């Protein structure tokens, strides 16, 4: 009796499906699939397939493989005898491979083994500095008795930054990194591999500040900051801000004085390097109570929210609940709907945007006693609906992070991305496609995110982000000094000096050592500034006691800032010189007085002598 078995491979939104048209237990199936990637990112796929006959009378004459969503080429199939008769039918984005076997394998425990090979460029993608490898998850697992997956990544592509799920083993052989997976590893999630150290984005952000009042006002704008997972290098911010400060959440706020009845247009241009591992450079607040408090959009004190949070308890269960219960609605992007908050998202989960996923996760975490906050910014996506919507307007992204007490670390997650990607895990692993603009923790809305600093009637885009190539010229350190105050001082006398270190560099400088004159007369001789924000002014205080040279002079104190040599210049007024002159004047006056007295005395003596002579 001849039975046909069809194996169907569907590559749609990251899923792999399999199906049999024979009874499942008539044959046992065994698969060994290898994806070997070239330095150009081409995947050479080899599928070694075996069917074990569990019957005495049935056999297999034909096998079909259907592939959707991936273009394949160079198809070949063969068994132990030789090449197999193969036909290929391509329609749109679907490819059907039909294989007719050279031999019939009839009899219980007989095995039919064969190999299919093909290549595809669709399983990897070069994104900026990184290679992204995406392999579908395994479905139809009930019909598959054993499945092994081997992924071979050439070392020339770079180091593996992240893998999800973790492989059973990882080895290096013949300049390839070889990852091994088994059936159970691929049931829930596909394989996601990021190769490369970090991602680089070029960005340009426009801001408009308008003052309709009759007096000048100081306004602040949020510019993309450094975080534990990203480093910012500004090419320019024009016009330059009065100062750049850091708030308690870690936001960078640039200050501008806006004259009355005027509008200022500002443009920030630079690069962002996004990392998969935390740099752990940001200071963690000792008191995290602010990240547990209820707010307008994070109603963590609501009884309904608290009850659900107590059932879920952990960040992962809260995350799973949000992913599985909210539904993303692309149509809402076009409508420009207002933010509804966590409670409304809980009550109306069927029509949600990324902000709703984020708000609900944060509110539930806070209700469960887990510190959480929101990140707003840019996230690279292949979602065509979002790409089309963002072509004419700024469509930014929001995602949450929670505080992991054990690791002493803020952990980013993205329930929206997992919901819309249909199976990619954004809880146990993250990517390098999320670029933070602002952090909302103590306040659920302030500061306003880039993209929202425009005139009320304007619909022009303000945010432009693209993959970039790292520009090392942006990493040049450049400092300058303000004029010290006071700059006119006295010798011998200790004077407290105030000055400012100005960071003209477009990036944050950590632990900068400032070295002053090593000679006596300056205290302290050196000190360390923990952080110097880009385009910021940092106040420093020190004490000087200039030497006495018995003359007025200009005293120049060398200042060493990294590899730069600068100078603080002071006009020193000599106290000793003035005291000497004063003493000399006093002595001169005394001498003149003495001489005058002597002269008067002599005149009196002469007069008395003349009187005596007359007598």
At 21 the pLDDT is: 40
- % of the chain at pLDDT higher than 70: 93
Q: Say if residue 16 is in the same domain as residue 165.
A: yes
What does the mean pLDDT of the chain come to? 88
At 594 the pLDDT is: 92
The continuous run of DSSP H or E covering 10 comes out as none
Q: Say if residue 544 is in the same domain as residue 532.
A: yes
Q: Is the pLDDT of residue 16 over 70?
A: no
CATH number where 54 lies: 2.60.40.1730
Q: Say if residue 313 is in the same domain as residue 429.
A: yes
Query: Could you tell me if residue 593 is inside a domain?
Result: no
CATH number where 336 lies: 3.10.620.30
Q: Say if residue 221 is in the same domain as residue 308.
A: no
- Unique residue bearing structure tokens 């009187």: 611
| Single pTM value for the model | 0.79
| Three-state DSSP string of 369-433 | CCCEEEEEEEECCCCHHHHHHCCCCCCCEEEEEEEECCCCEEEECCHHHHHHHCCCCCCCCCCCC
Q: Say if residue 498 is in the same domain as residue 486.
A: yes
Confidence tier at 6 by pLDDT (50, 70, 90): very low
CATH number where 492 lies: 2.60.40.10
Q: Say if residue 156 is in the same domain as residue 182.
A: yes
CA–CA dist 396, 511 (Å, integer): 33
Q: Is the pLDDT of residue 92 over 60?
A: yes
Residue-number span of the structural domain to which 221 is assigned: 198-275
Domains of the chain: total: 4
Query: Could you tell me if residue 54 is inside a domain?
Result: yes
Query: Could you tell me if residue 134 is inside a domain?
Result: yes
The SS3 of residue 118 is strand
Q: Say if residue 211 is in the same domain as residue 176.
A: no
CATH number where 215 lies: 2.60.40
CA–CA dist 612, 615 (Å, integer): 5
At 84 the pLDDT is: 92
At 390 the pLDDT is: 63
Q: Say if residue 146 is in the same domain as residue 213.
A: no
Rounded to 5 degrees, φ, ψ at 426 are: -110, 20
At 562 the pLDDT is: 81
Per-residue pLDDT, averaged over 497-510, amounts to 93
Q: Is the pLDDT of residue 3 over 50?
A: no
At 422 the pLDDT is: 65
Q: Is the pLDDT of residue 14 over 50?
A: no
At 25 the pLDDT is: 73
Per-residue pLDDT, averaged over 490-519, amounts to 89
Query: Could you tell me if residue 141 is inside a domain?
Result: yes
Q: Say if residue 435 is in the same domain as residue 504.
A: no
CB 207, CB 450: distance < 8 Å: yes
Q: Which of 195, 217, 249 is the last residue of a domain?
A: 195
Q: Say if residue 37 is in the same domain as residue 159.
A: yes
pLDDT in tens, 367-423: 999 999 999 999 988 777 776 666 667 778 999 999 999 988 999 999 999 988 766
- Measure Cα distances from 44 to 40, 90, 368 in Å: 11, 19, 48
Q: Say if residue 325 is in the same domain as residue 208.
A: no
Q: Which of 246, 275, 304 is the last residue of a domain?
A: 275
The continuous run of DSSP H or E covering 154 comes out as strand 146-154
Query: Could you tell me if residue 601 is inside a domain?
Result: no
Query: Could you tell me if residue 280 is inside a domain?
Result: no
At 518 the pLDDT is: 64
Selection from 560, 431, 548 nearest residue 492 by Cα: 548
Q: Say if residue 264 is in the same domain as residue 393.
A: no
When mean pLDDT is compared across 54-68, 79-93, 146-160, 345-359, the lowest value belongs to 54-68
The DSSP 8-state label assigned to residue 224 in this structure reads: P
Q: Which of 195, 228, 261 is the last residue of a domain?
A: 195
Query: Could you tell me if residue 119 is inside a domain?
Result: yes
Query: Could you tell me if residue 518 is inside a domain?
Result: yes
């Amino acid at each position: 009796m001849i039975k046909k078995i069809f194996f169907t491979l569907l590559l749609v939104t990251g899923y792999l499906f399999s199906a049999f048209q024979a009874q499942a237990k008539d044959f046992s199936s065994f698969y060994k699939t290898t994806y070997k990637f070239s330095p150009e990112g081409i995947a050479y796929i080899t599928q070694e397939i075996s069917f074990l006959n569990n019957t005495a009378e049935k056999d297999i004459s034909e096998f079909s493989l259907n592939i959707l969503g991936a273009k394949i080429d160079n198809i070949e199939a063969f068994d132990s005898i030789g090449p197999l008769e193969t036909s290929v039918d391509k329609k749109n984005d679907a490819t059907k491979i039909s294989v007719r076997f050279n031999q019939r394998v009839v009899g219980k425990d007989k095995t039919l083994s064969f190999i299919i090979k093909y290549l595809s460029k669709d399983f990897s993608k070069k994104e900026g500095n990184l290679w992204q490898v995406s392999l579908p998850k395994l479905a139809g697992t009930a019909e598959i008795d054993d499945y092994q997956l081997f992924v071979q990544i050439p070392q020339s592509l770079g180091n593996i930054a992240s893998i999800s799920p973790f492989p059973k083993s990882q080895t290096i052989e013949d300049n390839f990194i070889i990852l091994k997976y088994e059936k159970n590893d691929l049931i829930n999630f596909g394989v996601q591999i990021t190769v490369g150290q970090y991602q680089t984005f070029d960005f340009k952000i426009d801001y408009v500040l308008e003052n309709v009042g009759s007096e000048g006002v100081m306004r602040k704008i949020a510019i993309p900051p450094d975080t534990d997972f990203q480093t910012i290098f500004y090419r320019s911010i024009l016009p330059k801000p009065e100062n750049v400060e850091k708030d308690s959440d870690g936001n960078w706020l640039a200050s501008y004085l806006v004259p009355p009845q005027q509008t200022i247009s500002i443009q920030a241009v630079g690069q962002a390097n996004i990392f998969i591992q935390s740099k752990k450079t940001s200071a963690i607040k000792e008191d995290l109570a602010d990240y547990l408090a209820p707010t307008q959009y994070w109603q963590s004190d609501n009884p309904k929210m608290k009850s659900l949070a107590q059932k879920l308890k952990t960040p992962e269960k809260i995350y799973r609940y949000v992913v599985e219960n909210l539904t993303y609605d692309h149509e809402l992007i076009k409508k420009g709907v207002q933010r509804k908050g966590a409670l409304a998202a809980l009550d109306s989960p069927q029509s949600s945007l990324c902000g709703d996923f984020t708000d609900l996760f944060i509110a539930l975490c806070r209700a469960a006693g887990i510190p959480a906050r929101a990140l707003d910014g840019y996230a690279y996506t292949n979602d065509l609906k979002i790409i089309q919507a963002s072509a004419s307007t700024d469509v930014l992204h929001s995602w949450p992070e929670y505080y992991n007490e054990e690791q002493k670390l803020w952990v980013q997650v993205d329930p929206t991305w997992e919901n819309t990607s249909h199976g990619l895990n954004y809880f146990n692993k993250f990517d390098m496609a999320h670029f933070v603009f602002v952090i909302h923790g103590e306040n659920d809305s302030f500061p306003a995110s880039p993209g929202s600093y425009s005139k009320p009637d304007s619909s022009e885009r303000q945010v432009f982000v693209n993959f970039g190539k790292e520009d090392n010229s942006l990493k040049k350190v450049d400092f300058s000094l303000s004029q010290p105050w006071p700059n006119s001082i006295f010798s011998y006398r200790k004077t407290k000096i105030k000055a400012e270190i100005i960071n003209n560099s477009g990036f944050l400088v950590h632990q900068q050592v400032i070295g002053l004159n090593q000679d006596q007369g300056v205290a302290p001789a050196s000190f360390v500034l923990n952080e110097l924000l880009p385009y910021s002014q940092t106040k420093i205080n020190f004490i000087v006691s200039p030497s006495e040279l018995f003359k007025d002079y200009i005293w120049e104190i060398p200042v060493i800032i990294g590899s730069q040599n600068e100078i603080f210049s002071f006009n020193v007024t000599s106290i000793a010189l003035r005291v000497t002159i004063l003493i000399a004047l006093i002595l001169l006056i005394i001498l003149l007085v003495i001489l005058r007295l002597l002269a008067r005395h002599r005149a009196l003596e002469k007069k008395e002598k003349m009187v005596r002579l007359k007598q």
